[in-house]
Amino acid sequence: MAATIYDVAALAGVSIKSVSRVLNREPNVSHALQEKVRAAVETLDYRPSLSARSLAGASSYLIAAFVDASLTLQHMRSGRGNDYLSRLELGALVECHEAGHHLLVELIDYGSPSLEARLSALLRALRLDGVLLTPPNADDPRVLDILERAGTPFVRVGAERDLDRGMRVHMDDRQAAQDMTRHLLSLGHRKIGFVSGPAAYAASQARREGFLQALAEAGLSPHAMTDGDFTFDSGRRAGATMLSDPRRPTAVFASNDDMALGVLAAAGDLGVPTPQALSVCGFDDTPGALFSAPALTTIRQPVAEMAAAATRMLLAAKRGEASPSQEIDYVLVPRASTQAPLEN
């Protein structure tokens, strides 16, 4: 029913190999032949079968984003989407689409004891052209091992450490946190609290370091350091702890927006007016940051751009071109939630 390469060859009056050559833009094909083939392809509305190509050739035209299974289940249960992942996918999707590739989303159970076996089986079953590794698992050595052994190109998106394995697209979380802290300092804050993210994320560590370094440069030490886990609730708890202390900070820097919004909520709970009595800033620029009261000062991560760049790197690797690791610029977005402290 559907046209095959034989139908095209027959209609164009050439061999199937010639059709294949034209389709794959191989060199050494006469212009006349090209035209004949293109015409036949057009009239038959022909499109090569992905599976046949993938089975016979070296390429599957498939790129996969590896996504943390337990994180996904967690999001599902709470009825929430994953903004970071969504933006990442949009970026990857557009590049795949333009290059005639397809984007697969694969749930990976990083907690499974048989992770390695499953992963290598998956790679053999799929024959992926490339893999996008997403946080918080862009650094997992087990995965990197399997991927390297399978010879599958991969990009670690948003990975903090330069492991010199595979390719990498990231932004400078450390520097961004430093900038944000300087922003608070420049407003006149001296008593600044910090809410850290979960240790599983390398970015948590980087943001924390940036914060501490900026303070150190100003000859200050942190007013309070509290642990969070990137959730709203943990931010609220952290905020409650910091703000119920009589010696409370005039500003709190939370390692992500959800926690920053939690701090804002805690301030509301305790009757601490924001931003008058407390400046709060976050990190990520999630949807909620724009709509909170006051709107949240934060760091915008260009996730879609990072994913698009990563996808282009994968495509280039397929052509045999090596791409260097790439750093993408962040933007500090000042909004109403940070202002100069009242009493100075």
Partner DNA sequence: GTGAAAGCGCTAACAC
Partner DNA sequence: GTGTTAGCGCTTTCAC
Where does this chain bind its own copies (CB under 8 A)? 2-3, 45-55, 60, 67, 69, 72-73, 75-76, 79-87, 89-91, 93-94, 96-97, 102-107, 117, 120-122, 124-127, 232, 261, 264-265, 268, 285-288, 290-293, 300, 302, 304
Task: Give the residue with the Cβ less far from its own copies, 60 or 250.
Answer: 60
Q: Which residues from 52-71 bind DNA, rule CB under 7 A?
A: 52-53, 55-58
Task: Give the residue with the Cβ less far from DNA, 48 or 334.
Answer: 48
Q: Which of the 8 DSSP states describes residue 297?
A: B
What is the rounded CA–CA span in Å between residue 97 and residue 61?
11
Binding status of residue 48 toward DNA by CB under 7 A: yes
Tell me, what amino acid is at 332?
Answer: L
Candidate residues 10, 11, 25, 33; the one interacting with DNA per rule CB under 7 A: 33
Minimum CB distance to its own copies, residue 229 (Å): 17
Task: Give the residue with the Cβ less far from its own copies, 98 or 162.
Answer: 98
20 binds, among DNA, its own copies, none (CB under 5 to 8 A by kind): DNA
Candidate residues 10, 16, 122, 272; the one interacting with DNA per rule CB under 7 A: 16
Residue 162: CB partners within 8 Å, gap ≥ 6?
A: 168, 325
Minimum CB distance to its own copies, residue 301 (Å): 9
Minimum CB distance to its own copies, residue 141 (Å): 20
Candidates 101, 177, 171, 109; CA nearest to 137 is: 109
Minimum CB distance to DNA, residue 29 (Å): 4
What is the rounded CA–CA span in Å between residue 166 and residue 324?
10
Minimum CB distance to its own copies, residue 225 (Å): 24
Minimum CB distance to DNA, residue 41 (Å): 10
Is residue 225 packed enough to be buried (19+ CB in 10 Å), middle (13-18) or exposed (0-12)? middle
Is the Cβ–Cβ distance between 256 and 282 less than 8 Å? yes
What is the rounded CA–CA span in Å between residue 313 and residue 331?
23
CA 205 to centroid of chain Cα atoms = 17
Minimum CB distance to its own copies, residue 91 (Å): 7
221 binds, among its own copies, DNA, none (CB under 5 to 8 A by kind): none
Residue with tokens 């009239």: 43
Lookup: tokens for 268: 């509301």
What is the rounded CA–CA span in Å between residue 9 and residue 56?
18
Of 48-56, 255-263, 279-287, 315-323, the window that binds DNA (rule: CB under 7 A) is 48-56
Candidates 94, 171, 93, 174; CA nearest to 135 is: 171
What is the rounded CA–CA span in Å between residue 99 and residue 314?
11
What is the rounded CA–CA span in Å between residue 283 and residue 184?
14
Is the Cβ–Cβ distance between 264 and 280 less than 8 Å? yes
Minimum CB distance to its own copies, residue 38 (Å): 14
Site string for DNA, 268-297 (x = CB under 7 A): ------------------------------
Binding status of residue 15 toward DNA by CB under 7 A: yes
Task: Give the residue with the Cβ less far from DNA, 10 or 105.
Answer: 10
Checking DSSP bridges between strand 224-227 and strand 192-196, what pairing results, if any?
parallel
45 binds, among its own copies, DNA, none (CB under 5 to 8 A by kind): its own copies
Q: CA angle, 195 as apex, 232 and 239 as ends, to 5°?
A: 60
Q: Which residues in this chain contact DNA in the complex, by CB under 7 A?
A: 2, 4-6, 14-18, 20-21, 23-24, 27-30, 32-33, 46, 48-49, 52-53, 55-58
